[in-house]
Structure 1
Amino acid sequence: MNTLQISLISLLVVAFVIYRQLRTRPAAGAATLYVAGAMVLVGLVTGGLFDTAHLALSLALFLVEAGAAVALGVWRARTVRVWLDSSGVAWSKATGWTILAWLASAATRAGLYFAGTAVGLTASTSSVLLFLGLTVGIQAYLVARRGRALSSTGARPDTFVG
């Protein structure tokens, strides 16, 4: 895949994920995890994750990007509202804070991209897919886990979990 194709796919996937998060939906859904897994897999197999001319620096930036992806996914997951309905089904919906966290995620990813190019690393679009897959996957996993935990505790219906 070329840079334009990967960029467009990434933007479409993020727009779709955010759109779905803004809708009320069951918290235990696994579809987003499959999409995130596919993004990570494509990011890994397309290659170019590391600049072989600056391997140590490239590896360090990769580790920072992976850590940021995980941390931002955790943060966004905490901003999603999770509750039980009257029948005991866990539901989730993004909040305004989730949108703000998405904007911070985009700014962080852009900042890391520009930091890498500023120090002379060759940019890779596969790292964008890997970053998005990790951050979306972590968020989806944690929201689903909160939904399962709420369902299994026998909490009274319409209970809200931050």
Structure 2
Amino acid sequence: MPAVANTVLIIAVVGYVLFRQFQPRQWNPNPRRMLVVPAVLAFMALRDPHLLDAHHEALSAAFLIGGVVLEIGLGTVWGFTTRIWADAQGAVWSKGTMASFFAWIGMMIVRIALYAAAAALGVAQGQSGLLLALAALLLVRGAVVTWRAREFAPAYRSPAGAL
């Protein structure tokens, strides 16, 4: 049952993120908000006793770490493809671009290639590794967008024209 639950969770998170990515959204400056989904995904991944292939532990760990590092890099790219702007009232907004769409395609290609390489070496890769990589991807993308959005956010509490 955990495999089915992980698969449903992965599909739900990816669908939710893809849907929201292309909708204009007002930026929320609360950094804890970007931690919730990655923390839940990481918890789900790390609680799985079969995170590593018992027959190929070193190779399995290498693929897991390599996958997370690749997703960190791809999350950084994805964060820089997001359009960020401030409206007339000073509110900061973000929205995915066509480059964001291609970044998603690239992420899927990299993930498929990683699974194919592991399968060619006989290393079993479960959904838990994907959950952990997805957590890293979303955390890094959120951090990059937050870092970029702070350049647009005013350093004061009210817009300059409101006084």
Query: Is TM > 0.5 for Structure 1 vs Structure 2?
Result: yes
> Which is greater in Rg?
2
Whole-Å separation in 2 of the counterparts to 1:26 and 1:34 = 18
SS of aligned partner of 2:152: helix
For structure 2, list consecutive stretches of 5 or more residues without a partner in the other structure. none
Residue 127 of structure 1 pairs with residue 129 of structure 2: yes
Please name the residue that 2:18 is paired with: 18
- Taking only aligned residues, the RMSD between alpha carbons, in angstroms, comes to 1.9
| Offset, 1:153 | 6.4
AA aligned to 2:139 is: G
Percent sequence identity over aligned pairs = 28
Residue 50 of structure 1 pairs with residue 52 of structure 2: yes
SS of aligned partner of 2:52: coil
Please tell me whether the aligned partners of residues 83 and 91 of structure 1 are also in contact (alpha carbons under 8 angstroms): yes
Please name the residue that 1:75 is paired with: 77
Q: Which moved more, 1:78-87 or 1:53-62?
A: 53-62
Please name the residue that 1:146 is paired with: 148
Please tell me whether the aligned partners of residues 69 and 131 of structure 1 are also in contact (alpha carbons under 8 angstroms): yes
Residue 28 of structure 1 pairs with residue 28 of structure 2: yes
SS of aligned partner of 1:91: strand
Whole-Å separation in 1 of the counterparts to 2:116 and 2:142 = 27
Structure 1 runs (4+) greater than 4 angstroms displaced: none
For structure 1, list consecutive stretches of 5 or more residues without a partner in the other structure. 158-162
AA aligned to 2:25 is: R
AA aligned to 2:7 is: S
In the comparison of the two structures, how many residue pairs are matched? Answer: 155
AA aligned to 2:104 is: W
